[in-house]
A and B are shown apart, each in its own frame.
Chain A
Amino acid sequence: MKSDKLITPRSSAYLVERIGFSTLAILSFLLAVPIIGVILYIIIHGAPAISWEFLSRMPSDGMKAGGILPAIVGTFYLTLGTAIFSVPLGIAAAIYLSEYAPENRLTRIIRIAIINLAGIPSIVYGLFGLGLFVIFLKLGTSILAASLTLSIMTLPVIITTTEESLRAVPYAFRVVSTSLGTSRWQTIRRVVLPQAVPGILTGVILGLERAAGETAPILFTGATFFLPQLPNSPLDATMALPYHLFVISTQVPGMPIQIQYGTVLVLLVFVLGMNIVATVIRSRARARRQW
């Protein structure tokens, strides 16, 4: 077969195809290598910094020694706070769009609004959070203000992915459930939502992953340079891994490089760990799905 093609008049076309395919393969390979490289690089350089002390101690000596506990805890709090606001709201909004919204102008406006929310730069969210939560609502630079800011930023991710997984549930299930004398909400809660859970979870985690890694929205809403103790109320400011990394790598002269790499590694594990969890949930649900 192959050799046949080579002697047809159009063999040059096949040669082009071979060259084209190879070029694209090489390009994609060249894209993949740096990604793997970056991950390995961070692991190799960061691993030596990781110790129990590094993870469990407060920073000392102007952050040039000790651990990064408050940054880890802070990022955890911020992620949790973001989840508290954005998950219920995002899922409810997605349910509205998938199950209730009529096809009309208002719904189109909602969709445009969501696209806009998704596109607004994270630093602009920071400005907004400063204007609304920190100053207008007088929450101050706090975990609460930062979480609220991050929530609104995360909302479109959660809405979009949740709506997609709700729509993937076959419409026939809704008809069947309705025919058995159930209200719309009962059908959603008992049939549609359970089937969409893996997809929703994936979307939620991906949204929170983004929130956990963000710096710009918390710069003026909740992040602080250094705290002598862990925050003990939502109205306290907090350290956070991404902001900490930014600070120690750009603002503190003479910062030991080890600590920087260690911080990068911890942040990456935090964020990519969520990513991997999401991927696993998604692929397992796909394998198990009956429809």
Chain B
Amino acid sequence: MPEIFERRSRESHGEWVITRLIQTAGYSSIFFVLMILYFLLANGLPVMKDVSLSNLFSTVWYPIEEYYGILPLILGSLVVTLGAALIGVPLGILTAVYISEIAPQWVKEALKPLIEILAGIPSVVLGFLGAIVLSPFLRESLNLPTGLTALTGSILLGAIAIPTIVSISEDALNTVPRAYREAALALGTTRWQTIWGVTVPAARSGILMAIMLGIGRSIGETMTVMMVTGNAPVMPDSLGALFAPIRTMTATIASEMGEVSGGSPHYHVLFFIGIVLFLITLGVNVMASRIAFRQRKRSERVLS
């Protein structure tokens, strides 16, 4: 019966091609990251020729008169993000704890889709609502000269970060083995004590990752902040900055790139800001993935 041992059947040629295609697709992500980095650098680094470092890292952003200080923009992003974290992190984690550990089934089933809906609302819609509803409300209730402030942006960015924080934290909480909880409960602690003494600490790396990724999203958010923060490139110097207009890096790129001419110093500076954004989010995400990098191992053995 030598036919058993026929060399590869006719599929195997197609198989080879398909395998290569799949492999190439698999590698493509690396290629894209490098391409992105390359095009940012290629368009952003020439800024070093046109603009002096002391100008670039000064505190005045006024491109019409060639003041390209990006510090107010960086700080603007940080202030808004910090505010977003102060709102989104506690609310996100507490909601995740509630959904994963406390809520009755029907509440879970109502809350999770709602949070997915929140994740699905386009940022331009949130920006629109922020400008038309939230900002007048803040102006009146806090008695501010304008409702377009860093705080307005922070609140909305908090809302944008929450779905990320909730879903990743919830996953982390769900992977804590049931036995941990049961052991704690058997010792006579209350469920509440078990949650904070056992479950949450056991899930802390996942929760930390959730926080990082949530913050990462906030830093990169563009449309919402552009529409509600007033876009004033001023140096935030105190806590009061939260209640005044501000300008983020993302909003600066979005609102000015349309008007610059290609190859001008202003154009290069905007790309340079893109590099800064890229590096910040890269750092945040690499750290997040370092924290909890455990690919589920395929422990299932070949059937026996």
| B60 interface residue per 8 A CB criterion | no
Contacts of A185 in B (CB 8 A): 15, 18-19
* CB-based contact B302/A213 at 8 Å: no
| A24 interface residue per 8 A CB criterion | yes
Please, which residue of chain B has its CB at the minimum distance from the CB of A109? B30
- The one of A109, A156, A250, A267 in contact with B125, judged by C-beta atoms closer than 8 angstroms, is A267
Instruction: Please report the total number of B residues contacting A with Cβ < 8 Å.
Output: 93
Bound together, the chains give a CA A225 to CA B284 distance in angstroms of 35
* CB-based contact A36/B114 at 8 Å: yes
| A110 interface residue per 8 A CB criterion | yes
**Separation in Å of the A167 CB from the closest CB of chain B?**
7
**Separation in Å of the B13 CB from the closest CB of chain A?**
11
A-B contacts besides A13-B190, A120-B36, A274-B120, 10 pairs, CB < 8 Å: A25-B98, A101-B26, A116-B286, A117-B33, A172-B303, A176-B303, A216-B222, A216-B223, A246-B223, A279-B116
Bound together, the chains give a CA A286 to CA B290 distance in angstroms of 32
Bound together, the chains give a CA A271 to CA B118 distance in angstroms of 11
| B295 interface residue per 8 A CB criterion | yes
Contacts of A25 in B (CB 8 A): 98, 102-103, 107
B residues sitting closer than 8 Å to A (CB atoms) are 11-12, 15, 18-19, 21-23, 25-30, 32-33, 35-36, 39-40, 42-43, 91, 94-95, 97-99, 102-103, 107, 110-111, 113-118, 120-125, 127-129, 131-133, 159, 162, 188-193, 213, 216-217, 219-223, 227, 250, 253-254, 257-258, 262, 270-271, 274, 277-278, 281-282, 284-286, 288-289, 293, 295-296, 298, 300, 302-303
Bound together, the chains give a CA A152 to CA B94 distance in angstroms of 33
* CB-based contact A92/B26 at 8 Å: yes
Please, which residue of chain B has its CB at the minimum distance from the CB of A210? B120
Contacts of A246 in B (CB 8 A): 124, 127-128, 223, 227
* CB-based contact A124/B278 at 8 Å: yes
Bound together, the chains give a CA A209 to CA B123 distance in angstroms of 12
* CB-based contact B25/A89 at 8 Å: yes
Contacts of A10 in B (CB 8 A): 188, 190
Bound together, the chains give a CA A198 to CA B19 distance in angstroms of 24
CB interface residues, A 203-232, toward B, < 8 Å: 206, 209-210, 212-216, 219-220
* CB-based contact A32/B114 at 8 Å: yes
Bound together, the chains give a CA A5 to CA B153 distance in angstroms of 47
Q: Mark A162-203, 1 if CB is under 8 A from B, else 0.
A: 000001001110011000000111100000000000000000
- Stretch from A14-22, A56-64, A65-73 contacting the other chain: A14-22
Contacts of B132 in A (CB 8 A): 249, 257, 260
Bound together, the chains give a CA A243 to CA B123 distance in angstroms of 11
Contacts of A35 in B (CB 8 A): 114-115, 117-118
CB-based closest 8 A-B pairs: A121-B220, A96-B26, A213-B122, A92-B25, A17-B192, A131-B39, A119-B285, A216-B222
Contacts of A127 in B (CB 8 A): 39-40, 43, 253, 257, 270-271, 274
Contacts of B129 in A (CB 8 A): 38, 41-42, 264
- Residue from A31, A99, A172 with most neighbouring chain B CB atoms (10 Å): A31
**Separation in Å of the B102 CB from the closest CB of chain A?**
6
Decide yes or no: A16 and B123 within 8 Å by CB, A113-B33, A128-B39 being known contacts. no
* CB-based contact B257/A111 at 8 Å: no
Name the prevailing secondary structure of the B interface residues.
Answer: helix
- Residue from A119, A136, A210 with most neighbouring chain B CB atoms (10 Å): A119
* CB-based contact B32/A275 at 8 Å: no
Please, which residue of chain B has its CB at the minimum distance from the CB of A90? B25
Q: Mark A241-285, 1 if CB is under 8 A from B, else 0.
A: 011011001100000010010001001100110110001000000
* CB-based contact A213/B120 at 8 Å: yes
* CB-based contact A28/B193 at 8 Å: no
Decide yes or no: A131 and B250 within 8 Å by CB, A28-B95, A216-B223 being known contacts. no
Contacts of A112 in B (CB 8 A): 286, 289
Contacts of A257 in B (CB 8 A): 132
Contacts of B125 in A (CB 8 A): 42, 213, 242, 245, 264, 267-268
Decide yes or no: A28 and B253 within 8 Å by CB, A185-B19, A264-B125 being known contacts. no
